[in-house]
Amino acid sequence: MQVKAVLFDLDGTLLDTAGDMGAAANHVITALGLPPLSAEVLSRTTSDGAYALLQAGIHPALIEQHGLEQLRRRMLAFYGENLCRHTRPYDGVAELLGWLDQRRIPWGVVTNKPAALTEPLLAGLPLFAGCGVTVSADTLPQKKPHPAPLLHAAGRLAVAAAQCVYVGDHRRDIEAGRAAGMVTIAAAWGYISAGEHPDDWRADHRLDSVPALQHWLQGAFGATC
């Protein structure tokens, strides 16, 4: 099978956003008089999203009193105003995306982050200038683990799904990629949720660093690019 394009999850795969996501969650949590989430909790919870971060720091009675959705809106409002204070690409990401751009290999991002946050975040980072497609949580009626966002991204790149690689750090990424018929790679360097083990996700490959991913992709594309 020829591999012709690469799709990536965003948080925990290309970008370490835990600092800014954590600051937004802790802004809401500490306003309720509660202690902030630790770095350890942030590292294992960020990929599960805003709801999970808030639930990790606020006990159920307070959540019921204030309303989880209202708390989430407060968190995302703060996050939207502070998108890239601590966020950084993982080591090797700039080199990897530069290599893809240099070889004119189509690539894109499929994330469960809302477009109102995804688009300004990527627009503020020059290394994403070559991104060929961005699919956010609200681009379609479905989001991961449904395969529709991945299939939509492949279509936008004009590449068959079976000729795409999808890289992500969460079980839902691998489930979505498998359902879409793509080659799946578990990003073991990312935000692995508590109790989760990438080897259990049935990905086609598990890699432990971005440089290891680039090495794998260089091999996959070596005969075709």
pLDDT exceeds cutoff 90 at 2:
no
- Residues facing 7 on adjacent strands: 108, 166
pLDDT above 90 for 224: no
Q: Which of 9, 11, 169, 173 is the catalytic position?
A: 9
pLDDT value for 77:
96
Confidence of residue 205 (pLDDT cuts 50, 70, 90): very high
SS3 205: strand
* CATH class of the domain defined by 5-16+87-221: alpha beta
Q: What's at 43, amino acid-wise?
A: S
pLDDT score for 1: 63
Average pLDDT over residues 37-66: 93
Structure tokens at 92: 């090797």
pLDDT band (50, 70, 90) for residue 194: confident
pTM of the model: 0.94
Identify the residue whose tokens are 């989880």: 68
pLDDT above 70 (res 197): yes
The angle at the Cα of 13, spanning 97 to 195, to the nearest 5 degrees, equals: 165
Mean pLDDT on 137-147: 98
Catalytic (active site) residue 9: yes
Angle at which helices 68-81 and 18-31 cross, to 10°:
130
Q: 3-state DSSP call for residue 3?
A: coil
